[in-house]
Each structure stands twice: as structure tokens, then as C-alpha cells.
Structure 1
Amino acid sequence: MADLSDKVAIVTGGGSGIGEAAALAMARAGAAVVIGGRDAVKGERVVQAIRDSGSRAIFQPTDVSRPDDVKALVDRTVSEFGRLDLAYNNAGADGEQVPLHQQGVDGASFLVDVNIKGVFYCMKYEIEQMLRAGGGAIVNTSSIFGLNGYPGWSLYTATKHAVTGMTKAAALDYAQQNIRVNAVGPGPVETALLAKGTGGDPHSYAAFVPMGRIGQPDEIADAVVWLLSDDARYVTGHTLPVDGGVCAQ
């Protein structure tokens, strides 16, 4: 396990799925964790699990599409723990799986607000604090859809390509200021979101994966923890596929 001892971390979308797994893994690695999310019940449940394990955690209500919410998340982190060292910007939405001409205009605005603007707001306010602290590390959630194209997912693919590109550019902005910026590109992962998108059978995507199975949230979380840790100290601007080989096809 990579070491995050004495670090202070933010996780958005940390109340379920990959975000929950990452928050728990980061706490096990030694970090104090601030969970930002829209669902207080889910967020507080993860906070309690972290506290029960002997680590520190708090929940801050956060809708990443609202810049004031994101700023409040970062400000609360600093007020509670004194600084910000690490951030996992995971909150996102997936949209409709239909051809481009059938995509709704309102749905397009929602995806842009959450998946693109939300990551921008998070990085903006996180990096401001990291510059004051002398450095830090950020991981964004992109996707295999941020590395390849797939039919029926034009808007989602566009937003995740934006995350991949924003990750690269931000990494170059701060490469000499001790702030690393990377992303993970999950493939199909067993989460409630994937279950909903597959009509309740997320394992139906297994045939799409060269390894013959879908991933588990903790497998993405392990990659996130590694990228945030000093074990990855020479890695920046990279989107790491964690996908069972999907992007190798």
C-alpha cells in the first residue's frame, strides 16, 4: 500500500462507488479525508466508516457544478485540517446512451456543468491552496471514454476527453511548482451507476473486456492512491487506463 500518512485529501463523489472505495483506501493509507457530495446520508456513512477505522474524516455538502460549493469544500478542508495536500476529483454523470442527434439539449448542459466545469472548479480552488502549501497531487476521473470513442455516448465521450485534456494542460502549468495532475480511466466497474445503465446486469459488459470480467471499485481506488502518493512522484499529465485491457484493443 502506498503511503499517504499525514496528508489531507479531498474526494468528490465520495459517498458511493469508486469515490467511496477511494476515500476508504486513502484513509487506510494514512490520509485525513474530506468527502464532498450531494447525498449527505451516503457521505456521512462513509465518514463514519473511516472514523470507525481510526482515521479522520468529515463530509461537506457539495454540488461540483456550483463553484461556490466547491470553494466552500476547499475552504472547509483548510479550516478543519490546516491545509490541502491531495485531491481526487471523481464526481461525474454519465448521461444518455443514444445517437448524437437524439441527445437532449438540457442533458448536454448538465454533463458539461458536472463533468467539465465541475473538474475545472475543483482544480482551480484546490490548486490555489496547494500553491500556498508548496505542492500537492491531484487525480481526476476520466474514463476509457476519455481515451477512445464509443457509439451512443457522444456527449459523455466529449466531456471525458475534456477531462483528459484538462489534466494534461494543468500538469504542464504546475510541473515546476511541485503539483502533479493525473487521471484514471476506468473501464466497466461494478457500481450502482453501471448497474442502472445496464438494466441491472453490469456483468453483461464482461465480454467487452479482454480480461473477461468487469472491474471492482477497489481496483480503481488502488490506482488513485498510487498516483497520489510519492511512489508516483515522477508521473504527471498521464491518464492511466484501469480497464482490464479495453484500451489496448
Structure 2
Amino acid sequence: MFTSLQGRTAVVTGGSKGIGRGIAETFADAGINVVLTGRNQADVDSRVDALAGKPGAVSGMSADVASPEDCRRVVATAVERHGGLDIVCANAGIFPFGRLEDLTPDDLEQVLGVNFKGTVYIVQAAMEALTASGHGRVIVTSSITGPVTGYPGWSHYGASKAAQLGFLRTAAMELAPKKITVNAVLPGNIVTEGLIGNGQEYMDQMAKSIPAGRLGSAADIGNAALFFATDEASYVTGQTLIVDGGQILPESAEALAEM
């Protein structure tokens, strides 16, 4: 049995949609007070309304994690609303398609600004509050794409996700004396608005490549993130957890066929 997290406070960036939606819901179900962010206030309000009545209080605010000022504002708001901050889920991310030959400096800056710099900025903003909590947790949403696998059209996205892991290993060392752990979840193909936008054919094709025989849910990632947030995970830091239904395991299509 895990120690209750009732009454602790988490910031979930990018919590109005996709994987962040699942993390926010899982945390609120566990009694964690959640402040979720998104770039569109209407999306934020809709998600907050959908999570009303959970054991943990859920509120939201619009913010752009590529802005250090916005990240500081998010942390200050969480502390003001709940008296402190225990958990930061650096989840906000974008994945625009772009072949290597077509990528522009603006394309690179946009993806790295949100996915990588946004992770650094929200952690920097939260360091003081997480230290004060005495059991600070940083949970990064990375991906199998970049750190483990590749996919044509997402070289910039993959680079940003690999950069997050390079960051977390040293950040985990620097923050360990402050009793803050830093870990990452690496999702495979998860059913979100973004994945659905790639079309049913893409989704069916990806499901066939997964030994578990299905695409993942946002709750699958939320549950993994929740583990990293527990007191029982206090001795786990600088680590990554792949949640992909076994997608990276087969060495060939033939290996899948042999199942």
C-alpha cells in the first residue's frame, strides 16, 4: 500500500489535453490538488470543469512554458492557492510534422522552446517551492521517439525529447541534496487528440506493431507518473520508465508474427 498523497499539490503543464489530461485526472483521483496549464484558456476551463468533484481540487491557468516569466507565474499561483508545491509534471509538448529538408530555424525554436526549454524553465521556477516541501518530485513526460526510436518527420521532436533526458540526469544530481527527485516517463503511442488527428489508418497500423495489441491510454501514463510522485519512490531519481505496451521489443515484423 502506498502512502496517501492526499492534500499535496502538483503543477501539470499541458494538462488541458492529451497525456497531461490523464496525468491531471489520475493525480486528482489520488487526492492531489492540481493546477493545470494550457495555452488556450477555453481548453483549460473545459478540463477544470470536467474534473470538478474529484478528491483533489483542480484549477487551471493559461500559460506558455516557453516563457520563463509564465513558468514563475504558474508556480507562484500554485503556492498561493494551496500553500506550497510538491510535484511538477513537465508535460507540455508539441509535435508538428516536418521533414528534415524542410525544417526552418523557427520550426526548431518552436519545438525546442516548448518541449525542452519549457521543461527547464518550469523546473527552475519550482526549485524553491519543491525544496520547501521536503519531498519534491519532478516528473518529465518524454517519449520513446528520440531517446529510443525514430520516425520520419519528427527529427526535431525526437531531438527535444532526447534533450529532456540529458537534462534530467544532471538535474537529478543537483537537486538530490534538496530531497527532490527527477524522473521521466517515456510514452509510446497513446490515444490522445494528437494521435487521433493522424487518422484511423495510422492508429490501426501502430496498434499492430505493439505486442500488447492496443494503443495506450492517457491513464496508463498518469499511473506511471503517480508512482514517481509517491513517498515509496523517494530513492528513485534520474530514471526513465518506458510505457509502450512492449512496442520497442520486437526486432522485426517477423518477431511479431511469431507471437
Q: Same fold judged by TM-score > 0.5?
A: yes
AA aligned opposite 1:166: F
Q: 1:30 to 1:164 in 2, by over 3 A?
A: same
Q: How does 1:127-142 map to 2 (within 5 A)?
A: 127-142=127-142
AA aligned opposite 1:75: A
| Alignment partners' CA distance in 2, 1:226 and 1:25 | 11
Q: Are the counterparts in 1 of residues 187 and 244 from structure 2 also a CA contact under 8 Å?
A: yes
| Alignment partners' CA distance in 2, 1:151 and 1:50 | 34
Partner of 2:119: 119
Q: How does 1:161-180 map to 2 (within 5 A)?
A: 161-180=162-181
- SS of the residue corresponding to residue 177 of structure 2 reads coil
| Alignment partners' CA distance in 2, 1:212 and 1:240 | 20
Q: Are the counterparts in 1 of residues 90 and 122 from structure 2 also a CA contact under 8 Å?
A: yes
Partner of 2:214: 213
State the Cα deviation string for residues 64-101 of structure 1 (Å, max 9, x = none).
Answer: 11111111000001111111001111100112152x22
| Alignment partners' CA distance in 1, 2:52 and 2:213 | 36
Q: Are the counterparts in 1 of residues 145 and 151 from structure 2 also a CA contact under 8 Å?
A: no
Partner of 1:105: 105
| Alignment partners' CA distance in 2, 1:70 and 1:51 | 24
Q: Are the counterparts in 2 of residues 142 and 183 from structure 1 also a CA contact under 8 Å?
A: yes
AA aligned opposite 2:110: F
Larger Rg: 2
Give the stretch that moved more between structures: 44-53 or 177-186.
Answer: 44-53
| Alignment partners' CA distance in 2, 1:51 and 1:21 | 14
* Structure 1 segments unaligned to the other structure (5+ residues): none
Q: TM-score, normalised by structure 2?
A: 0.90
RMSD over aligned Cα, in angstroms?
1.7
- SS of the residue corresponding to residue 215 of structure 2 reads coil
Q: TM-score, normalised by structure 1?
A: 0.93
State the Cα deviation string for residues 169-203 of structure 1 (Å, max 9, x = none).
Answer: 11111122210000100000111111223467523
- SS of the residue corresponding to residue 120 of structure 1 reads helix
State the Cα deviation string for residues 26-54 of structure 1 (Å, max 9, x = none).
Answer: 01111111011112222222222333234
Partner of 2:43: 42
Partner of 2:94: 93
| Alignment partners' CA distance in 2, 1:76 and 1:165 | 29
Partner of 2:192: 191
AA aligned opposite 1:134: G
AA aligned opposite 1:127: M
Give the stretch that moved more between structures: 188-197 or 72-81.
Answer: 188-197
- SS of the residue corresponding to residue 11 of structure 2 reads strand
Q: 1:190 to 1:115 in 2, by over 3 A?
A: same
- SS of the residue corresponding to residue 185 of structure 2 reads strand
- SS of the residue corresponding to residue 246 of structure 1 reads coil
Partner of 1:51: 52
Q: Are the counterparts in 2 of residues 12 and 91 from structure 1 also a CA contact under 8 Å?
A: yes
Task: Give the paired residue count.
Answer: 248
